[in-house]
């Protein structure tokens, strides 16, 4: 998993997968960096089964993904949040039918530096930290050190999901350092022993420490059961029910083989195995 993520340039990810002669209708996939590892792993496997395909994949955030689907510059929008009503309405006005394909389950995991002695926080403590109301680690059982808040930027679906599930729509502190990808958050936190951030569970590695929330560990089982309080679905949106090569790819992601790859890259399959 670690080696896989090292190969993934999440801040400006752009991958073109092709083999042999391309189909007439090439598939373009854009959006969430949270969903990016799932997309890359399943695309690579799909390409081996369909060696005439030509598929491009790029990150940029959920917001960029839905924009690309609406302006018809992408066939699939990877998203770590649901499409908003205003996005669906805008799409309809442009002749695009925003169709939701749920592809995996995720736990958003708060992370700290491995040397931070705090192992567990409540959702309320996280909310206060990210609003800037709790500013020192000693207030939550840690050392007497100022907290450095690391957050995703506003184009991120993870930012919006965190805002709903943790902040309850309150604003993140203006002192937060904003990052463009999950990988960038991991890197920032791993280099700062005062920092706290949050990532999709597929990006956890030994350079950071994931925290227990409300007494519940973020695991496949607790995310699937929704016992873990910051769990969510991950999506691949299409223009209408997917068909053609796009449909074949989405069907592969949802197949038993595709869902095994979801698990392999650190996320949770839709059905218990």
What is the per-residue pLDDT for 272? 54
- 45-77 pLDDT, tens digit per residue, is 999 999 888 889 999 899 999 999 999 999 999
Tokens of residue 207, six digits: 């350079």
- 194-215 pLDDT, tens digit per residue, is 999 999 999 999 999 999 999 9
Name the residue among 261, 153, 140, 236 with its Cα closest to residue 198: 153
What burial class does residue 23 get, using C-beta atoms within 10 Å of its C-beta: 0-12 exposed, 13-18 middle, 19+ buried?
middle
Is the pTM higher than 0.95? The answer reads no
Which residues, listed in sequence order, are joined to residue 250 by a DSSP beta bridge? none
- Residues 38, 103 contacting (CB under 8 angstroms): yes
Question: How big is the CA angle at 77 (ends 106 and 63), to the nearest 5 degrees?
Answer: 80
Q: Is the pLDDT of residue 20 over 90?
A: no
Return the domain boundaries, the chain.
2-104+233-264, 106-225
**Do the domains spanning 2-104+233-264 and 106-225 agree at the CATH topology level?**
yes
Site of tokens 């030509």: 54
Class at the top of the CATH hierarchy for domain 2-104+233-264: alpha beta
What fold, for 106-225? D-Maltodextrin-Binding Protein; domain 2 (3.40.190)
- Residues 162, 230 contacting (CB under 8 angstroms): yes
Q: How far apart are alpha carbons 221 and 228 in whole angstroms?
A: 9
Q: How far apart are alpha carbons 82 and 91 in whole angstroms?
A: 14
């Amino acid at each position: 998993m670690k080696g896989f993520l090292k190969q993934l340039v999440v801040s400006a990810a752009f991958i073109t997968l092709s083999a042999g002669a391309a189909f007439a209708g090439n598939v373009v996939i854009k959006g969430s960096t949270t969903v990016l590892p799932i997309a890359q792993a399943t695309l690579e496997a799909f390409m081996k089964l369909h060696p005439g395909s030509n598929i491009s994949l790029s990150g940029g955030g959920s917001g960029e993904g839905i924009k690309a689907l609406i302006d018809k510059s992408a066939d699939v929008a990877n998203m770590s949040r649901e499409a908003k009503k205003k996005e669906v309405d805008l799409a309809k006005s442009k002749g695009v039918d925003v169709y939701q394909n749920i592809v995996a389950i995720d736990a958003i995991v708060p992370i700290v530096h491995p040397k931070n002695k705090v192992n567990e926080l409540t959702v309320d403590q996280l909310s206060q930290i990210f609003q800037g109301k709790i500013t020192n680690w000693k207030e939550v059982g840690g050392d007497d050190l100022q907290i450095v808040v690391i957050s995703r930027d506003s184009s991120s679906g993870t930012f919006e999901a965190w805002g709903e599930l943790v902040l309850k729509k309150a604003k993140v502190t203006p002192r937060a350092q904003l990052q463009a990808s999950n990988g960038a958050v991991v890197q920032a936190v791993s280099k700062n022993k005062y920092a706290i951030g949050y990532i999709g569970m597929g990006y956890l590695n030994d350079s950071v420490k994931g925290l227990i929330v409300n007494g519940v560990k973020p695991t496949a089982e607790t995310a699937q059961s929704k016992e873990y309080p910051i769990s969510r679905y991950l999506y691949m949106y299409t223009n209408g029910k997917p068909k053609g090569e796009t449909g074949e790819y989405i069907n592969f992601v949802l197949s038993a083989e595709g869902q095994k790859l979801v698990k392999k890259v650190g996320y949770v399959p839709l059905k218990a195995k």
